[in-house]
Structure 1
Amino acid sequence: MLIEKTKKSQKSNEISVATIQAWLKEYGFVSGAILVLGLVVVFSILAFRSNKLAKNNRASAMMADPASWEEIIIHYGSTPTAPFAYLALASQQYHSGNFALAEETYSNFLTRYPNHSLMLIAELGKINSMAAKGSALDALELYDAFLEANPLHFLAPQAVLGKGQLLTAINRLPEAKAVFEDFIASNPESIWMDTLEVSLSVVEQRMRQKPILTEEESETL
């Protein structure tokens, strides 16, 4: 789990929540893919897991009902199913616009299951939630730390997209352009190429239309 750096003051750290959420409404971050991935892993693992414990069997059956995810966490927290309920609930909270709550749920997962095989999904989900709620500067630092620690992980392209889209949202367009161009040049066979190229074209279009902010100017938004 990444160790978060000392928090900046709330005033300097919270970049125009309205600006970022307007961007989310129009373009969206990449956590939807994380949600899909998480749920695929959930049901794949549960389908092949042979568990004779009745308690876990009940919890596993409850996973099919989103309304039961919190109940699984509360009443079946010791079962193998509970970590997947955390991830599913956090993704649902994110896509409902409850970004702070999603961040909290991802954080709870990371605290409770620091060595879980899906820990990096929770880590990136937490960063995306921070970005979406307006903690842009902290989120940018954590995207960098995530990519430095996991450059070859299958989630790395999604972290690149998240970072680039956040830079675009706060109008740091040259940086966003460089993020997308560098990854595209280094990973020409990536399955994310189409999405990356679309994101790059959005940046280039905005650069032709809007004034570009420096990093210092963006911190005052």
Structure 2
Amino acid sequence: MSTDTQNAPAPADGGMAEKLPEELLPVYDWYRTQGRQLVMAAAVLLLVAVGVMAYLRYRANQAGLASAALMTTESVEGMENLERQYGGTRVGPLIRLRLAEAYYNAGNYAGARGQYETFLKRSGRHPMAGTARVGLAATREAEQAFAEAARDYASFADANPKHYLYPVAVMGQARCLAAQNDKAAARDVLDRLIVARAGTPWEGMARDLQGVIDRFEGFKGRSIFDQMNAAAKTQPTEPGATGGNLLDALPTTPAVTNVAPGAAAVPATAK
């Protein structure tokens, strides 16, 4: 035996190739050159898949917790905490709508506007996007930006004549037009609402608002709501009429998260 033969290194595979049938040698050669890398890649993909499934399960659990908390939270502070904790979950858009509503009811119109804008930027295709658009217009109306609010109300109403918030938008547009001393235009949009919603409670509310607008004396430093309330108190009460403070019965903002789309034809009741 030669010295070269004695010093030759042993095969790394322990001579496995010599033990395999000749027809399996191509498979063995492929495994040695590429198969190991593919097996490792498959193992990595499996780990990634397991990680994604765990993450999705975590997100689902977070969304469940957020939904339960949303049902029981009422305060502004509580809503803010929910937005910080769960704003990134699939319940996040609804949390932002509730927070916007809470801000609005507390008189923080800028905060409400910011939440509606964030909702539309992040969730413009959400089923509740219409609610956010009408809510955004309502915040501008409350901030006395009547021209912008009238434009937003009109844009929504023109694009969504069958939406359950269509009457809310039209009456908001009418109020903003009246605030700009354009009573004729305000009456015109309300006439169209009366025709579109004839025979529903919205028809009566639109007629009542027309009477309020007729008595509105113009924007003179006080809120349009205060002046319309004062005008409403001078309106004679007839059998079946709303009477008293009409704006208490007019939805100036949509009841955004507690109204089902199926309740389209019935206006919100006074608080």
d(CA) in 2 for partners of 1:89 and 1:148?
27
Q: How does 1:182-221 map to 2 (within 5 A)?
A: 182-206=192-216, 210=217
> Aligned runs of 1:42-191 on 2, under 5 Å?
53-63=60-70, 64-66=72-74, 67-191=77-201
Tell me: CA distance 1:52–1:82, structure 2 relative to 1, closer, same or farther (3 Å): closer
- Which structure has more RCO (C-alpha within 8 Å, separation ≥ 6)? 1
Which residue of structure 1 aligns with residue 242 of structure 2? none
The one-letter code of the counterpart of 2:183 is L
Cα deviation, residue 117, structure 1: 0.6
Q: Secondary structure, in 3 states, of the residue corresponding to 1:192? A: helix
Deviations 1:52-89 (A, max 9, x none): 93212221221111232222222212322221111111
TM-score when scaled to structure 1? 0.66
Q: 1:89–1:105: 8 Å Cα contact kept in structure 2?
A: yes
Aligned mates of 1:194, 1:95 — CA distance in 2: 26
Deviation string, structure 1 residues 108-156 (Cα, Å, up to 9, x no partner): 1111111111011001100111121122112222222112211221111
Equivalent pairs, count: 159
Point out where structure 1 has 5 or more consecutive residues left out of the alignment.
1-50, 213-221
State the distance in 1 between where 2:133 and 2:181 align: 25
| Mapped partners of 1:190, 1:153: distance in 2 | 15
The SS at the match of 1:199 is helix
- TM-align CA RMSD: 2.2
Q: Which runs of 4+ in 1 moved over 3 A?
A: none
On the 8 A contact 2:179/2:218 being kept in 1, the answer is no
2:63 maps to amino acid:
N
Query: What do residues 2-29 of structure 1 show as CA deviations (whole Å, max 9, x unaligned)?
Result: xxxxxxxxxxxxxxxxxxxxxxxxxxxx
| Matched AA of 1:123 | R
Contact 1:131–1:166 under 8 Å retained in 2: yes
Bigger CA radius of gyration:
2
Matches of 1:177 and 1:125, distance apart in 2: 22
Q: Percent identity?
A: 28
Shift of 1:104: 0.8
**Retained in 1: the 8 A contact 2:100–2:116?**
yes
